[in-house]
Amino acid sequence: MNILITGGCGYIGSHVAWALADAGHEIQILDDLSTGHPANAVPQARLIIGDVGDLGLLSKIFSQSDVSAVIHLAGKILPAESLWEPLRYLNENTCKTIGLLEVMVRFGVGRLVFSSTAAVYGQSDTPMVDEDADTRPMSPYGLSKLMAEQAIATACAAHDLRAIALRYFNVAGVDAELRCGPRGPNPGHLIRTAIQCIRNQQLLTVYGNDYGTPDGSCIRDYIHVSDLAAAHVSALLDLDSHAGFQALNCGYGYGVSVLEVISAVEGISGQALPHIIGPRREGDPPALVANSARLFSKGTWKPQNNLNQIVASALHWANVTNKDDGAGEY
């Protein structure tokens, strides 16, 4: 299968690209390298440097090669940043997805796997959420992804298009063979931030310890990036047997608190991680855990990792290979 991956040089995108290459698919990667890194590109893939919002470029790609499916990961991903740049997030994540859909429909490319997020749920009424839960995003980032999902669903209803939106929960870890990984100046998410703090002997800030959770810190569902990449391969295969649009949660189905993550990082690294308690961060729900029963029920995906393996792989990338320059698309 000839697959176009947008954002295929990013942290998650590169792992997805490797998973597809390992499964024997032909790959083209479209990435503007604004946050992705060329060192993450799968060597046998065709790398096209450009913006997914460039409809002329998309038309050229589809007209010159027999693309049979698109995995769309390109976009902006930081909820906090989206609070002060909401229009940028709506343009990057929603408008450019609509443009991609227009070109796909024009060229008869009928299969799409979309990179979505648990941020579409916002503050859920229950700690564990399924795909039928109310969608009440707490940030422009979450709203932009939800609106993109709605655009995809509308396109599926009107055209010969099949699509799956994978709603990621907290993604961490690194490819076991260290073929790709997070790069750049901003850690973004907790596990990488904690590792960077240990390496640089910095204090870690815990944003709030007065939530209604057992230890007062936020609870999240962490998923190893390689397990998430495998879920994309599974979703791509499922498109052959599923018409229209569906959303699927991608998580392990159990939560881990911020303080438990700190404990895991300390235990695996063998180093203390000093931390301080800061104020709550705007847009953070107390707990968000995936009910991934729908994804599990398909029988083609099963996670292979746990929190300790996630932390160990991230430490391996950062400390053993020294490849982590403190950044990434977490």
Tens of pLDDT, residue by residue over 29-45, are 999 999 999 999 999 99
pLDDT at 322: 60
Mean pLDDT of the region 179-193: 80
Name the band, by pLDDT with cuts 50, 70 and 90, for residue 330.
Answer: very low
CB 61 within 8 A of CB 28: yes
141 given a catalytic annotation = yes
pLDDT at 329: 29
pLDDT at 324: 44
- Half-sphere exposure (Cβ direction) of 111: Cα atoms closer than 13 Å: 20
Q: Please tell me the distance from the alpha carbon of residue 307 to that of residue 194, in angstroms, as a whole number.
A: 14
pLDDT tens column, 54-71 = 999 999 999 999 999 999
Q: Please tell me the distance from the alpha carbon of residue 124 to that of residue 214, in angstroms, as a whole number.
A: 17
Name the band, by pLDDT with cuts 50, 70 and 90, for residue 294.
Answer: very high
Q: Please tell me the distance from the alpha carbon of residue 226 to that of residue 16, in angstroms, as a whole number.
A: 8
Buried (b) or exposed (e) across 219-239, using 16+ Cβ within 10 A? Answer: bbbbbbbbbbbbbbbbbbebb
The pLDDT of residue 85 is above 80: yes
Q: Please tell me the distance from the alpha carbon of residue 156 to that of residue 88, in angstroms, as a whole number.
A: 26
pTM metric for this prediction = 0.93
pLDDT at 199: 86
- β-strand partners of 26: 2
Q: What is the DSSP letter of 208?
A: -
Q: Which helix (H) or strand (E) holds 263?
A: helix 258-269
pLDDT tens column, 129-142 = 999 999 999 899 99
Phi-psi region of 253 (alpha: psi -120 to 50; beta: other; left: phi over 0): left
Mean pLDDT of the region 173-186: 86
Q: Which of 11, 89, 121, 141 is catalytic?
A: 141
Cβ neighbours, 10 Å, residue 43: 7
Q: Please tell me the distance from the alpha carbon of residue 148 to that of residue 154, in angstroms, as a whole number.
A: 10
What Rg do the C-alpha atoms of the chain give, in angstroms?
A: 19
pLDDT at 80: 85
Percent of the chain with pLDDT over 90: 83
Which domains does the chain show, CATH number per domain?
2-172+222-250 (3.40.50.720), 190-221+253-320 (3.90.25.10)
Tokens 């029963």, located at residue: 293
Mean pLDDT of the region 185-202: 83
